[in-house]
Amino acid sequence: MRPAWLLLALLALPATARADELQYLVPELAEDPFQVNPEPERFRKRISVSPAAGVLGEGRLYVLRLAYSPNTWLGYEASIGHAPGTSVDALFHMLSAIVRYPLPGRLQPYACAGYGMMLVFPGQLLNADPVTENALTLGGGLEFAIRDDFAIRGELRHVTVLGGNPQDEGTVAYRYGEATLGFAFHRKLGSNTTKNPEPPGSLPHP
């Protein structure tokens, strides 16, 4: 019976220790896990990973986005998307710019524009080689922050694919509507503190 009592003691003792030693990846969330920093500085030097699903035209779309914000209003984003179809599959590689006006609440609208490539892979029913076309996007989105490091993200974009005209050697624009809904996971790079802060009561430098 002694091993059983010893096992119960080992399971009971760490319970309070684990609560005291819990370490948060975002220290600011220790007091209130669902708080949202109202300062625009929360966007500065922030990386974000955002998986999402939605529609492109009348077909399905799955997207994975990686973004970096060097300051409070501008961000750069790389994304890869897959639009599976019955006859063809499309793969998107996109680089986008995100522009926002930081708001103090949980709702954060933004505008976005991007350029990339669309790779079209014909299915087994079509005897054709893969095709690569230029793609342009323009749109906007909305993030609802659950907490500082996690948000729900919805986005609408207008996609223009510049492809070849089968009737001649010219170029034709194919236009699609894109709508996605997903999550955004945020992490800050570095510290939010300002280097060499001015002592209290000192005069600002000219």
pLDDT given at position 22? 56
DSSP designation for 166: T
Q: pLDDT (tens digit, 9 = 90+) per residue, 114-157?
A: 999 999 887 655 556 778 899 999 999 999 999 989 999 999 99
pLDDT at residue 81 greater than cutoff 80: yes
SS3 at position 124:
coil
114 near 97, Cβ under 8 Å?
Answer: yes
pTM, entire model? 0.74
- Please compute the mean of the pLDDT values over residues 30-50 and round it to a whole number: 88
Tell me the pLDDT of the chain averaged across its residues. Answer: 82
Answer for the pair 118, 161: CB distance below 8 angstroms, yes or no.
yes
Once rounded to an integer, what is the mean pLDDT over residues 76-87?
A: 89
Which pLDDT score, from 0 to 100, does residue 44 have?
Answer: 94
Mean pLDDT for the stretch of residues 54-77: 96
pLDDT class of 163 with cuts at 50, 70, 90: confident
Element (H, E) at 177: strand 171-188
Ramachandran assignment for 199, one of left (phi > 0), alpha (psi -120 to 50 degrees), beta (any other):
beta
Residue 19 has pLDDT above 60, yes or no: no
Please report the pLDDT score of residue 130 as a whole number. Answer: 79
The predicted pLDDT at position 194 comes to: 44
pLDDT tens for residues 172-193?
888 999 999 999 999 998 765 4
Portion of the chain with pLDDT greater than 70, in percent: 70
Q: What's the first-to-final CA gap in the chain, in angstroms?
A: 77
Domains assigned to the chain: 39-188 (2.40.160.20)
**Residue 39 in this model has a pLDDT that exceeds 60:** yes
pLDDT, position 124:
55
Mean of the pLDDT values across residues 24-53? Answer: 83
